[in-house]
Structure 1
Amino acid sequence: MLPLFTIFLIAVAVYASTPDRASNFPVSPDVAAQYECGSTCQENIQAASATDLEDFDMPFDFDFYTTAKNFSGSKPGDILKLQPVDPKLAKFPAGIAAYRFQYTSVDLDNSTIPATAFIAFPFVRQKDPFKLVAYAHGTSGVFRGCSPSTSSTFYDYDTWIPLSLAGYAVVGTDYAGLGNNYSAHKYISARVNANDVFWSTIAAQNAFPHSLSREWVSIGHSQGGGASWKLSEHKLVQKNQSGYLGGVAIAPNTRIYDAITQSVNMAAGLSSEDQQKMGSSGYIPSIYFALRAVYPNYTAPFLSTLAKKRFELGELAQLCAAALPAVVSDLGLAEIITSLDEDALSVVKEFQELNAPAQGDKASRPLLVIQGANDTTVFPSLTVKAYEQACEAGNRVRLSIYPGLEHSPLSGASAPQWLEFIDGLFEGRDLHNCSVETVSAFDLEYARTPAEDEL
Structure 2
Amino acid sequence: MRPVREVAAVTAAAVALGALLPAGAVASERREPGTGQEPGAVRERGELLSAKKLKSYTAAQVKKRLKTEGFDSEKVKYGVDTYRLVYRTVDGYGKPTKASGLLVVPRSENKRLKLVSYAHGTTNYRPDAPSTSPGDGFVQGAPLTYGTAGFATTAPDYLGLGVGPGTHPWMDVRTETTASLDMLRAAREFLPRKGRTARRDVFVTGFSQGASAALGLARELQRGKKWFRLRAVVPISGAYDIQGVLLPSMLKGKTPPKLAVAYTSYLLVSWNWKASIYDRPEEVFKQPYASRVEKYFDGSTPGEVMLQGLPDTLAELLTPRGFALLEKPSGRFAKALREEDTICRNWAPEVPVRLYYEPRDEQVDQAGSTSCHAWLKSTLRRLPATAYGGSPHLGSNLAGTAKAVRWFASF
Q: TM-score if structure 1 supplies the norm length? A: 0.67
User: CA-to-partner distance for each residue in 1:202-227, whole Å, 9 max, x for gaps?
Assistant: 11011114332221111110111110
Give the 3 Å change call, closer, same or farther, for CA 413–157 of structure 1 in structure 2: farther
- Residue type of the alignment partner of 1:104: R
Kindly indicate whether residue 399 of structure 2 is the aligned counterpart of residue 399 of structure 1: no
Pairing of 1:150-161 with structure 2 (within 5 A) = 150-153=132-135, 155-156=138-139, 158-161=141-144
What is the match of residue 437 of structure 1?
none
Kindly indicate whether residue 92 of structure 2 is the aligned counterpart of residue 111 of structure 1: no
1:365 aligned to 323, 326, 351, which one? 351
What is the match of residue 166 of structure 1?
149
> How far off its partner does 1:324 sit?
2.6
User: CA-to-partner distance for each residue in 1:249-297, whole Å, 9 max, x for gaps?
Assistant: 0111323334553134422xx9xxx9536x4443223223321343467
- Residue type of the alignment partner of 1:410: S
> How far off its partner does 1:197 sit?
0.9
8 A contact 2:256–2:363 mirrored in 1: no
Secondary structure of 2:357 counterpart: strand
What is the match of residue 394 of structure 1?
none
Secondary structure of 1:84 counterpart: strand
> How far off its partner does 1:97 sit?
0.9
Secondary structure of 1:178 counterpart: coil
8 A contact 2:221–2:230 mirrored in 1: no
What is the match of residue 241 of structure 2?
255
Q: Where do 5+ consecutive residues of structure 2 fail to align?
A: 11-41, 64-78, 387-391
What is the match of residue 290 of structure 1?
270
Kindly indicate whether residue 244 of structure 2 is the aligned counterpart of residue 244 of structure 1: no
Q: TM-score if structure 2 supplies the norm length? A: 0.73
- What RMSD over aligned residues (CA atoms) do the two structures have, in Å? 3.4
Distance in 2 separating the partners of 1:92 and 1:331: 40
What is the match of residue 364 of structure 2?
378
Q: Where do 5+ consecutive residues of structure 1 fail to align?
A: 1-46, 55-72, 392-396, 428-455
What is the match of residue 75 of structure 2?
none
8 A contact 2:268–2:277 mirrored in 1: no
8 A contact 1:302–1:345 mirrored in 2: no
Structure 1 window deviating more from structure 2 (400-409 vs 241-250): it is 400-409
What is the match of residue 332 of structure 1?
313
Distance in 1 separating the partners of 2:315 and 2:7: 27
What is the match of residue 21 of structure 2?
none
Distance in 1 separating the partners of 2:299 and 2:103: 29
Kindly indicate whether residue 399 of structure 2 is the aligned counterpart of residue 413 of structure 1: yes
- Residue type of the alignment partner of 2:107: F
Structure 1 window deviating more from structure 2 (408-417 vs 341-350): it is 341-350
8 A contact 2:133–2:140 mirrored in 1: no
Identity, % of aligned positions:
19
Distance in 2 separating the partners of 1:108 and 1:378: 26
Distance in 1 separating the partners of 2:330 and 2:276: 16
Give the 3 Å change call, closer, same or farther, for CA 317–365 of structure 1 in structure 2: closer
- Residue type of the alignment partner of 1:226: S
Distance in 2 separating the partners of 1:235 and 1:127: 25
Q: Point out which structure has higher relative CO (alpha carbons under 8 A, 6+ apart).
A: 2
Secondary structure of 1:117 counterpart: strand
8 A contact 1:163–1:170 mirrored in 2: yes
User: CA-to-partner distance for each residue in 1:77-107, whole Å, 9 max, x for gaps?
Assistant: 111111211559xx97283211111111233
1:348 aligned to 306, 313, 333, which one? 333
Distance in 2 separating the partners of 1:237 and 1:320: 38
8 A contact 1:194–1:230 mirrored in 2: yes
Give the 3 Å change call, closer, same or farther, for CA 144–233 of structure 1 in structure 2: same
What is the match of residue 22 of structure 2?
none
User: CA-to-partner distance for each residue in 1:277-320, whole Å, 9 max, x for gaps?
Assistant: 6x444322322332134346734755444443342352578224
What is the match of residue 107 of structure 2?
123
Secondary structure of 1:172 counterpart: strand
Distance in 2 separating the partners of 1:340 and 1:264: 13
Kindly indicate whether residue 76 of structure 2 is the aligned counterpart of residue 76 of structure 1: no
Give the 3 Å change call, closer, same or farther, for CA 321–248 of structure 1 in structure 2: farther
8 A contact 2:250–2:257 mirrored in 1: no
Secondary structure of 1:149 counterpart: coil
User: CA-to-partner distance for each residue in 1:408-428, whole Å, 9 max, x for gaps?
Assistant: 11011233321222123xx2x
8 A contact 2:266–2:297 mirrored in 1: no
Distance in 2 separating the partners of 1:220 and 1:375: 16
Distance in 2 separating the partners of 1:261 and 1:52: 19
8 A contact 1:144–1:178 mirrored in 2: yes
> How far off its partner does 1:113 sit?
2.3
8 A contact 1:238–1:365 mirrored in 2: no
Distance in 1 separating the partners of 2:245 and 2:306: 19
Distance in 1 separating the partners of 2:263 and 2:350: 32
What is the match of residue 172 of structure 2?
189
Give the 3 Å change call, closer, same or farther, for CA 157–119 of structure 1 in structure 2: closer
- Residue type of the alignment partner of 1:148: P
Secondary structure of 2:139 counterpart: coil
Distance in 2 separating the partners of 1:250 and 1:53: 17
8 A contact 2:276–2:332 mirrored in 1: no
Give the 3 Å change call, closer, same or farther, for CA 310–170 of structure 1 in structure 2: same
Give the 3 Å change call, closer, same or farther, for CA 158–119 of structure 1 in structure 2: closer
> How far off its partner does 1:181 sit?
4.3
Distance in 2 separating the partners of 1:193 and 1:318: 20
Distance in 2 separating the partners of 1:362 and 1:321: 37
Distance in 2 separating the partners of 1:343 and 1:275: 21
